[in-house]
Each structure stands twice: as structure tokens, then as C-alpha cells.
Chains A and B, each alone.
Chain A
Amino acid sequence: MFKKSFTFAFALLIVASMVLAACQPAQTTPTEAPVVEPTAVEQPTAEVVPTEVPTPEVVQTTRKGGWLDEIVFSVVASDSALTQITAGAVDIYANGLSSKDLPAIKDAGVSYSTSSGLYYDILYNPAGPEFTDGRLNPFSNRKIREATNWLFDRDYINQEVYAGGGLAKFFAITTQFPDYADLADVARKLESFYAYNFDKAKEVITAEMEGMGATLVDGKWMYKDAPVTLVYIIRNDSDGTRIPIGEYTAAQFEALGFTVDRQMKKGSEASPIWIGSDPIEGQWHLYTAAWSATVLDRDQSNIFQEMYLDSSAQGIPAFLDNVSDPEFKELGDRLATADFATLQERHDMMARALELSLQDSLQVFLIDGKQFTPYVNGMVATADLAAGIEGAQIYPYTLRFADQEGGTVRWATQDLFAEPWNPIAGSNWAFDQGAIRATQSGDIMYDPYTGLLWPLRIEKADVVVKEGLPVGKTLDWVTLEFAPEITVPADAWIDWDAANQVFVTVGEKNPEGLTALRKTTLTYPADLFETVKWHDGANLSVADFVFGMIMTFDRAKPESAIYDPQAEPQFLPFQENFRGFKIVSTQPLVIEYYSDTYTLDAELNIPLMFPTYTFGEGSWDTMAVANAAEAGGELAYSVDKALEKEIEQTSFIGGPSLEVLAKYLDTAIADKTIPYAPTMSAYLTADEAVARYEALKAWYGEHNNFMVGTGPYFVDQAFLTEKTLTLKHFADYPDLANRWANFGEPKLATVELDGPGQVKIGEEATFDVFVTFKDAPYPAAEIKQVKFLLYNAQGEIVKVAEAVAVEDGQYSVVLDTATTAALEAGSNKLEVAVVPFTVSQPTFMSVEFVTAP
């Protein structure tokens, strides 16, 4: 008996110990101190700074292409990413981890980079005041929506849910992007006004609820003898952080007397309700929304229309039903269509829109989340401030081990080969594009810290815009001119005759003449076609450019052999504003581009003419083979067409496409095919074509893929089911490895404020501002502005002005006698915002001082 009991107890003990062990937290994660992260960047400006950004750390080398010998990609679950890095199994988890993982990353002691993550908010149903069944919708009332800004403690959410890894967010504009920096004083003032204040929220909401006919009975809001029940759709999928946000905000509403029906749903369950239902039906009151900003957007003029107004491109019923203040509606729509004459006018409009957006509050923004990419110590990896490392165009050029040339980086990510790889309509998954990006080059390099463009393959760009348009420039490699009228030459190409395979000229399509708002002239280096090689050894040629131009049109033309209805919708906006392009010369290659679209930065008015398509590079010969396979009805670039025709989607990386492509490649060699011969024959002979095809065939024979690019790494091996990929160093890449080394890490300013702790009212006070980067003074030429904001004892902003430069790295803030005389006795705050040119994140620093008579 004893033995049986003992055996039973022992068995129970084993199970219990295993369960307890499993329930134990993996790591102790102390809550970290509040992180005051700096924010956004500069604004389009007419000022010019040197093109070459000074940097102390450019490594000298004779190596060309990437720094590494190999990058080996594999798939790792995010849960085990940190463990694998610390165990030495992988070097980087490129897909990144969310803010809630930051304490674990810090505990692990690995390096990490920071970039934008999701941003979270609450979206209200604006229909009403009553739903069709007679229930009250408090959020039809703008005043109540506005008051909920005081109801939520954003700092609490940041600390409790994101371990301090995010940023409190009040506005639709991203807290780390250039517009926020430009509007920092306005934003800070509004943030101060709308700071957490439960009593104020209660006061306003109580008054408005009573005005709508609701009564507070025993602490519960009642309307027509029924409790006011808020149907709250809380997303329980994604990164999981919307659950605690939902719980917290629901509790706040309950504290006000509302009854809250929490409905936890994943995206697919929630969308039929908040997107699919008519808001007036009242299937929901509020929803935990989240959005993402994956590029460093320097112009967020359209954000107010998109996030609040009934004219929003989101086209979601909740937006369509929102009745906004007429001034806000007009302002948002005008900003979205760039209806302003000067940058100052735009600034003023944006400032007013910020204020009105909080009064509208169709969405109440809560947190700007961040993404953290962990990697082993001793590795150098450039992260785009918005897109991280995996999404940064520049990463293949800078990824390396410190003080080392060569070596292998073991790159782990969330998944690989999620969809077929082809440059036209292939995989757009971040992890796939992360790998593809390393194999391609291009016209320009996207600045990971400012969102501006730098020349990569082009030598220079000359931008001409019509007089009166609000366009400025920052960098000196681009020229900017204004002209009263820009006439498009009659021999420029404006359209494509797919039946005859020739371009349609402006003169043919618009015999009366045509003008454009913008002209950009791209000039390439004279040795472009000698120095730049495809991975299969063929030289880049003008035919690659012309083929790319043709592909801009051909798939959207019903007469084309590769017509794809899926291409038409995307072609519409292009067609609406395109005014023509023209190859002015081929040696050197000079291309003029005419358009009616423009952006506020001259650097961003650069068309991409290099044979880099939407989802990857493609030499004309590879694309011609894929086109032939599509015309032959055996493959299709887009999934829509592939499914409709019941054929496979074109993939250059592997799968059943390869044999089909190989077959058409053989045919092209046998037939000496010149694709689009009526046009391409001017740029290509049959022998040149065959040489290209032969090079491609040899490549395919050696590497078993058609991923031929011009980037610093090439695809050596891909194992699709095993989900591993090996990229190898491309020795024939034309640029030195250190060309982009100055982008090793963002030049975020470190700011110190020094001044008197006590100021006598009515007397002048001076504060010193020290701006450094890695303990060295930050050059004044690289600082756009140092702005200060003075808060009085009530927390109100009483003065905004610029600090005075003393020398490199030092500025002075002088509070004159009139300013201090206006302060009451008490504790005041001086906040400084330093906005560099070289990185889009300003640094904020504040100091408190006491005023006394």
C-alpha cells in the first residue's frame, strides 16, 4: 500500500514540477526607467548643407561591394531569437522584436537598433447620436471624443504595456518624423494641454452626456432606462499589446460610469464589425486600432484627411460617417492636395490642423510603438529609423563585423520565400524583400536617418519645378530651379503602343503641346556601362533602361501579350500625372522625366529609371524570358493572373517556374530573340542579345535561379523548403565597401542643459546648451535649429524661441528680464529641442528651475 501511495505521489510530483517549471517566467524583467526618446526631423528647407556628411568613422579599404563574404539567411521563431543570439546560433534577428521585448534584449546584453513600430490608438464610431435601435452613442459627440484625451494616461500605458519602449502619442503625425520636429512647439503645447487629467475628462463628459439626455444613476450612465453600454472591440492578436490597452481604457470608461462590453477578437473576427458593418447599426462603439509607418515619411500633409475625414483614402465607414468641423475638413483636404503656396503657409496649416485634430478625435492616438532589432555585439548594422535593418536599403552596404573585412553573418528572420520572387508582382514580404534588397543596386540611396535621397548610380539630378510650387532642397547634389512654364518636348515618350510595340510621343498624343509641373534630368556617369555588371557577368546596358520604360506600360495595355488586369489599377495614378520621358543621350546616359507630381523636397523628386522594378531588379534578358513565358500562357507575374489562368506564378528563385523559364531561355537563344524588337532594336543587336542569354543560361546552370541583379551580394543557393538562403559577395560591384560607412549609426545628438537652479523674477538668466555626439561637439553646420520652450509653474508654454549658437556644440538660451518678470514664483521648466540635419530625430532635454521674487 505504501509503495503504491509513494509511486502515485512521486508521479504527481513529477507532473507538478514540470508544470510549475513551465509556468515560471523565462526571465526576470525589471521595469526600466522612463525613456524620453527624441522625435522627428527637419522640414523641407531652402538651406543647403554639405553633401558629404562629416563622420569620424569611415573605414579605409580597397574592398569592393559588401563587407561580408556571405550572408546566410534562415528562419527563427521570434520567441527564441534572443536565446539563439546569445547562444551563438545566429548573429541577428532582422525582423525585429516589439517594445515589450526591450527589457529582455537589454538583459541579454546584445546590441540592438531602434526603428518605428506599430502605432496604437482608439477609433470611435461617430454615428448617431442614436443608433437605429435607439441606443445612445456618446462618441457621436466630438466633445466627448476630445475629452477622452484627458481620460487616458499615455505614460502609464507606455510604462505598463511597453516597458517604456514606446512614445506617448497624441497626433496622427509620427512622433519621430520631420513634421513633428517642425511643429515641436505647437505639439508640446497641445500635449501639455491634453495631458492626463481624469477629473477634467469626467467634468466634460458628464456635462456632454447630460446634454445628450443621459443620466447618472448610482454611478452608472443610463439612457432611456437602460445602461449606456459601450461595445468595445479589442484585438487579441497581432503583438498582443492591444489587450492591456483595451483593458486599461475600458476600465477608465467604467470609472466614469459607462458599462463596457469587452469583445476580444482577432483581426478576421473584428473587421466584419468595425469595417463591414454600417456604423449607425451600432455593432460597436470603439475599437483598438493600430497603424504602421514603414517609411520615413518627410511629408505627412495628407495624414489629417486620411486619419479623420470623410474624404479619407481608407474608405472605411467609420471615416465616411464622421462629420468634422468644417474648418478642419477644409484644412485637411487642402493639405492632402498640397493646396498651399509656401512652406510657411503649410507650416501654419499643419499647426492648426494638429489642434483641430485633437478636437475631432475620431481617433485618439496613444502610443508610437518601436521595433528593436537585436544583434550580436561587435556587428555593425545600419537601421532605417522607420524601416529598421531588414527594411533599410542601405544595410547590405554597411553590414559587417567591426574591424573586419569578410566573414559570414547568420541572418535570422521570421520567414522566407512566403511567395514567389519576381520583380513585377512577386513577394512583398519584409523578410523576402530584406534578402532581395542585398542583391540589387539602383539609382539612389535612401537616407536611413533623414528620408532624403543620395545618388547611388546616378551622378546628379537637376530638378526644375513650376514657379510658385512649395519645393525646397537640403542637399547640394541636386540642383533646384523654378521656371514659369515647363514644356514637354514633342519627341518625349508619353505612352506605349502595345500592338506595334513602339512608344507614343508627346507630339503624337498631344499635338497641341504639353506642359508639366516638374522636370527632372538624371545624369549617369560616363563609365556606367563599363563599371556596372549584372551578377551573371554581363554589362549593364541602355537596353536595360529602355526595357524598364516599356514595362512601365506594357502589362496595363489590353493589346499586350502580357496584359494583366491587375496592372491597370496601379497604372491609373501614374497615367494621371505622367507627362513623358526622353533619353537625351546614351553616352553618358541622360534621361529627362516630366510629371505633374512633385514633393516638397527636391531630393525626392527623382524618378527611378534604373532597371529596378517594384519588387526587385531585372536585367532585360531575364525579364524578356519571363515575358515570353507569360505570353506563352505558362507563367504569370501576378498571383491574380496565375490563378485566373490556372498557371504558376513566375518565380526567379525556385519552384516549377525555373524549368519553364529555362525552356523559354533556350528558345530565345535559338531564335536570337530581341524583345520588343520595333523599339529595342535601336539599342540592341541580335548577337548582343544572344550573349546576354548565354550569360544568363550559364548563371542558371551554376546557381539554379534567375535572381540576377547588380547589388553587392548575389544569390548563391536557395533551399525553399528548408528555408535557407546563401548570398555571396559580388566582387565586381563597382563601389568601394566603405562608400556608405558614414551611415554606420545615426548621429543622434546628446544634449546637456546647464543653468541656474534659481532665477530671480525680473532678472536675466542664461542657460548653456551642450550638443555632442559621442562626446565630441556636434558641428553647428549639421544642426538645423536649437529651439527652446519655456513652461511656467502651471505647465503652460509661455515662450518659444531659438537658442543662440556660441560655437560648435554649444548654444545659449537667454531669458531676458521681461520673460522672467512674466513668470510667477514657483517651479518652471525649460525644454530644448535640438534638430540636426543629418538625422531626423531631434533630441529633447529639459531642466527645471525655481523663480522667486
Chain B
Amino acid sequence: MTQDTQAGVLGVPKKKTTSAFARVARFMGIRAITLFFTVVIGVYTTILIANMGGYVDTIMRNDIRERVNQRVAASTANQNISAETRRQMADELIALEENRLGLNTPFAIRSFRYLTDSLQLDLGRAQNMVSDNGSRTVRNIILERLPATLLLMGTSQLFLFFFSVFIALTLSRSYGSFWDKLVITLSPTSAAPPWFYGIFFILIFAAVFRILPFGGMVDAPVPDNTFDYILNVLKHLILPAGSLIISSLFLSIYNWRTFFLIYSSEDYVDMAKAKGLPSRDIERRYILRPTLPTIITNFALLVIGLWTGAIITETVFLWPGLGRTLYRAIGFFDTPVIVGSTIIYAYLLAVTVFILDFVYVLVDPRVKVGGGK
């Protein structure tokens, strides 16, 4: 995407060098290839990092040896088992485990296998992790946690986004007011992360007032009917979602307010004011419209960001989300799960960026696909 300096609001005719279709097709092709290679590089880098360049194999081999030896020692203690049998038993178990984890194949080969499989969205099976329902397929491990993550992150981030933009827009029109100053004053509170507020909220609302649960997604035992279940989940959602919102709210409003203020002080806005246009029209046509690409970009990235979850907040509230899953996968050195999560995010990001190029054209007449050269 480039900005066409000759076209746009001034309506200056531009020079036609090629057909619109060819230009768009060329742009799309180059863009898609570029994004694909970006994804490949990103994912392969993730594989290398997650495996510490292959050193994880050494860690896993020793871990296997330690676990198996202790297991054999415990199971054969005082059993009159000969040392040879014991050694044979341990060696066989170690070989089985190493084979199961694919350690018999060099890491370099495995790394490319991870890459090609993941690019084809063949996420395979986890090495050590298991989904809550007992499945070892990475797809199940991820999908099972997706609803909880989308619920928590969706609720909090969407609320945060729209509420911030709405309030910021209002504040940008009342610069210097009490509320404006209050938001500025409170914006440093975002220095504290969500889990920090989470701990406070748990102490206040769960431990002291006992009106909200300490954590989890639903009460134990789980309510019998769907309506009660939904209400119960919402009750459990209040504190974690509240933490995520509170921790970012004031800074987010402050950011958007500043952003809108910049656009509010443009000459064409002053011109509009001088013309006596209603403030609502000024806001909609002269402030919101030119800021729309930025708002949409933020929103799109926010939506795919929901995928990542909130690792520590989910942990504090024992929320069964993707953030905790990814965190555990890193702890287990479970490459398929790490790669699975990364590739999905990478594809989502690439597709979003790709689509945004076209959305910009729709919302901003100054922009044109593949133009400018």
C-alpha cells in the first residue's frame, strides 16, 4: 500500500500506466509472497528458539534418564530383581521414550518437519501436553481453550477498546476539563499489570467481602442448567475481565484522547468550526474519518491479539485459557503446541495485514492499492 500523491481529495487527474486489475493483482501477489516468507521466517525462528537451537534435546534426554531411572529404582526396590534385568528395563523404557519424542531423528531434520507440517496447518500431536479432555492432538489442545480465552479477552478488550475510544473522543472535545485532568492523573495506574489488580480484587471481593469467586471459570459443582451456567460463568468473569480492563483503561483513554486531540487541531477542523458546522458533523467528518485507518488497524490487531490470551492473569484466576496453555507448553518444551499456537497467530496476522491494505482503500480516499510508482 502506498499513498498516491497525485490522487486524492484535490481530484488531480493521475497518469494511467497500467490497468487497475493488473496493478491490484501484482500488488496482491507480491504482498502475499512477502507475508508468506515473513510467516516462514517467524515460525522457523520460533522453532529454533523453542528448542534452543536443538539443546532442548539434551535437556529432554537427561530428563528422561532421570525419570526412568527413578521409576525403575522405585518399582524394583527390594524385589530381588537382578541388576541386569533392572538395567535392561531402564534402557528399554528410555529407548521407548526417546523414540516417542522423536529424539532419534536429528533436530535439523525435525525442525524442517515442524515447519512444513505447521505451514500446512498439520499441527500434529503434543509431545508432553494433553488437552483437558485427554486428547494429545494440538488442534484439540488449542481449540478446547479457545472459547474461554475469547470470552475473557473478547469481553475485556472489546469493552476496553470501544469504551476508550468513546470516552477519548468526548474528552478531546473538552480539553482541560476536570474529567480530562482526572484521566491524565489516573493514567499512570496502567503501569501496574492486570494480575496486580487481580490479586487485589481477589483479596477484596473474594477473601474479604466473599461476593465473588477466587478464580476458575465456573463454580464447583457446575450448575445443572444452561442459564445458571451462563450466569455463573459471568460471575467468574467479572474479576479477571475487570483486572484486564482497569489495568489499561486510563492509559488507553489517554492515548486515544491525545490522538484525537492532534486531529482536532488540524487546520481543516478549525476551518469547519469557523464555518459554523455542528460539532457532531465536525467530529464525524473531520476527526473520525481521517483517523479511521488507525482505529481499524488497532481494532484488527486487537481482535487477533485475543488469540494470545493473558498468561499471568489467566494463571492468577485459574482461567482455562490459551495463555496458560502456551505458558505450560514452553515449560514442557512442547514444540508442536508452541509452533501450533504460533502458526495460527502468524497466519491470522498475515491475513489481517493483507486485508487491511484493502480496507484502507475503502475508508480513506487518499489511499490506493499498489499505486504510487
Question: Which residues of A pack against B, CB within 8 Å?
Answer: 3, 7, 10-12, 14-15, 18-19, 21-22, 70, 72-77, 80, 83-84, 86-89, 267-269, 271-272, 275-276, 297, 299, 301-302, 306, 311-316, 336-338, 410, 417-421, 565-566, 568-570, 572-573, 576-577, 596-599, 639-640, 642-644, 646, 648-649, 651, 653-657, 717, 719-726
Query: Which has the most chain A C-beta neighbours within 10 Å: B58, B73, B144?
Result: B73
Q: A648 contacts B145, CB within 8 Å?
A: no
A641's closest neighbor in chain B, by CB? B100
* A94–B7 CA distance with the chains assembled, in angstroms: 71
Q: A301 contacts B189, CB within 8 Å?
A: no
Q: Which of B61-108 contact A (CB under 8 A)?
A: 61-63, 65-66, 69-70, 72-73, 75-83, 85-90, 92-93, 96-97, 100
- A10 contacts which of B61, B93, B185, B202 (Cβ < 8 Å)? B185
Between A and B, 23 residue pairs with Cβ closer than 8 Å are A15-B189, A22-B196, A72-B221, A76-B318, A268-B59, A275-B66, A276-B61, A276-B62, A302-B77, A418-B130, A565-B96, A566-B96, A569-B89, A572-B85, A577-B80, A639-B100, A648-B134, A720-B134, A721-B133, A722-B220, A723-B132, A724-B218, A724-B221
- B202 contacts which of A73, A80, A336 (Cβ < 8 Å)? A80
- B136 contacts which of A566, A643, A726 (Cβ < 8 Å)? A643
Known: A573-B89, A649-B136. A22 touches B214 (CB 8 A): no
Known: A18-B189, A655-B133, A655-B135. A89 touches B318 (CB 8 A): no
* A86–B72 CA distance with the chains assembled, in angstroms: 41
**Residues on A with beta carbons closer than 8 Å to the beta carbon of B315:** 77
* A648–B133 CA distance with the chains assembled, in angstroms: 11
* A596–B85 CA distance with the chains assembled, in angstroms: 15
Having A420-B130, A723-B320, one finds 12 other A-B pairs with CB under 8 Å, namely A3-B181, A11-B187, A268-B333, A271-B66, A275-B62, A301-B78, A316-B69, A417-B133, A649-B134, A651-B134, A723-B216, A726-B220
Known: A15-B191, A313-B73, A315-B69. A653 touches B79 (CB 8 A): no
Q: B318 contacts A75, CB within 8 Å?
A: yes
Closest 4 CB pairs of A and B: A655-B133, A420-B134, A313-B73, A655-B134
| Least CB distance, A258 to chain B, in whole angstroms | 27
B131's closest neighbor in chain A, by CB? A655
Q: B221 contacts A272, CB within 8 Å?
A: no
* A642–B134 CA distance with the chains assembled, in angstroms: 11
**Residues on A with beta carbons closer than 8 Å to the beta carbon of B191:** 15
Question: Which of B156-164, B205-213, B278-286, B363-371 makes up part of the contact surface?
Answer: B205-213
* A312–B73 CA distance with the chains assembled, in angstroms: 8
Interface residues on B, range: 35 or more
Q: A87 contacts B206, CB within 8 Å?
A: yes
* A7–B182 CA distance with the chains assembled, in angstroms: 8
| Least CB distance, A530 to chain B, in whole angstroms | 33
Q: A76 contacts B196, CB within 8 Å?
A: no
Q: B189 contacts A721, CB within 8 Å?
A: no
Judge if B184 is at the interface, Cβ distance under 8 Å: yes
- B188 contacts which of A14, A89, A570 (Cβ < 8 Å)? A14
| Least CB distance, A340 to chain B, in whole angstroms | 12
Q: B134 contacts A417, CB within 8 Å?
A: yes
Question: Which residues of B pack against A, CB within 8 Å?
Answer: 55, 58-59, 61-63, 65-66, 69-70, 72-73, 75-83, 85-90, 92-93, 96-97, 100, 125, 130-137, 140, 144-145, 148, 181, 184-189, 191-192, 196, 199-200, 202-203, 206-207, 210, 213-222, 315-316, 318, 320, 333
* A572–B61 CA distance with the chains assembled, in angstroms: 23
Main secondary structure of the interface of A (DSSP, over half): mixed
**Residues on A with beta carbons closer than 8 Å to the beta carbon of B72:** 313, 315
Q: B134 contacts A573, CB within 8 Å?
A: no
* A88–B191 CA distance with the chains assembled, in angstroms: 33
Q: B89 contacts A7, CB within 8 Å?
A: no
**Residues on B with beta carbons closer than 8 Å to the beta carbon of A74:** 216, 220
Q: B222 contacts A717, CB within 8 Å?
A: yes
**Residues on A with beta carbons closer than 8 Å to the beta carbon of B186:** 11, 14
**Residues on A with beta carbons closer than 8 Å to the beta carbon of B66:** 271, 275, 316
- B100 contacts which of A88, A643, A655 (Cβ < 8 Å)? A643
| Least CB distance, B21 to chain A, in whole angstroms | 45
**Residues on B with beta carbons closer than 8 Å to the beta carbon of A722:** 216-218, 220, 222, 320
**Residues on A with beta carbons closer than 8 Å to the beta carbon of B132:** 417, 655, 720-721, 723
Known: A313-B72, A639-B136. A721 touches B82 (CB 8 A): no
* A418–B136 CA distance with the chains assembled, in angstroms: 11
**Residues on B with beta carbons closer than 8 Å to the beta carbon of A565:** 96
Known: A22-B196, A717-B222. A14 touches B189 (CB 8 A): yes
- B134 contacts which of A77, A301, A657 (Cβ < 8 Å)? A657
B65's closest neighbor in chain A, by CB? A275
Q: A640 contacts B97, CB within 8 Å?
A: yes
A654's closest neighbor in chain B, by CB? B133
| Least CB distance, A724 to chain B, in whole angstroms | 4
A314's closest neighbor in chain B, by CB? B69
| Least CB distance, B213 to chain A, in whole angstroms | 7
Q: A18 contacts B134, CB within 8 Å?
A: no
Q: B220 contacts A410, CB within 8 Å?
A: yes
B126's closest neighbor in chain A, by CB? A643
Query: Which has the most chain B C-beta neighbours within 10 Å: A84, A271, A297, A570?
Result: A271
Q: A337 contacts B80, CB within 8 Å?
A: yes
| Least CB distance, B333 to chain A, in whole angstroms | 7
Q: A271 contacts B63, CB within 8 Å?
A: yes
Q: B96 contacts A314, CB within 8 Å?
A: no
Q: A18 contacts B216, CB within 8 Å?
A: no
* A795–B285 CA distance with the chains assembled, in angstroms: 93
* A528–B2 CA distance with the chains assembled, in angstroms: 84
**Residues on B with beta carbons closer than 8 Å to the beta carbon of A576:** 81-82, 85
| Least CB distance, B77 to chain A, in whole angstroms | 5
* A53–B354 CA distance with the chains assembled, in angstroms: 77
* A88–B209 CA distance with the chains assembled, in angstroms: 12
**Residues on A with beta carbons closer than 8 Å to the beta carbon of B75:** 570, 573
Query: Which has the most chain B C-beta neighbours within 10 Å: A11, A598, A646?
Result: A11
- B69 contacts which of A73, A313, A577 (Cβ < 8 Å)? A313
**Residues on A with beta carbons closer than 8 Å to the beta carbon of B73:** 306, 312-314
Q: B80 contacts A338, CB within 8 Å?
A: yes
**Residues on A with beta carbons closer than 8 Å to the beta carbon of B199:** 22
- A597 contacts which of B80, B206, B215, B221 (Cβ < 8 Å)? B80
A335's closest neighbor in chain B, by CB? B78
| Least CB distance, A382 to chain B, in whole angstroms | 23
| Least CB distance, A129 to chain B, in whole angstroms | 26
**Residues on B with beta carbons closer than 8 Å to the beta carbon of A314:** 69-70, 73
* A643–B97 CA distance with the chains assembled, in angstroms: 11
- A313 contacts which of B86, B135, B196 (Cβ < 8 Å)? B86
* A596–B73 CA distance with the chains assembled, in angstroms: 19
* A12–B96 CA distance with the chains assembled, in angstroms: 58
* A77–B202 CA distance with the chains assembled, in angstroms: 13
B222's closest neighbor in chain A, by CB? A719
Q: A572 contacts B70, CB within 8 Å?
A: no
* A311–B200 CA distance with the chains assembled, in angstroms: 54
**Residues on A with beta carbons closer than 8 Å to the beta carbon of B219:** 724
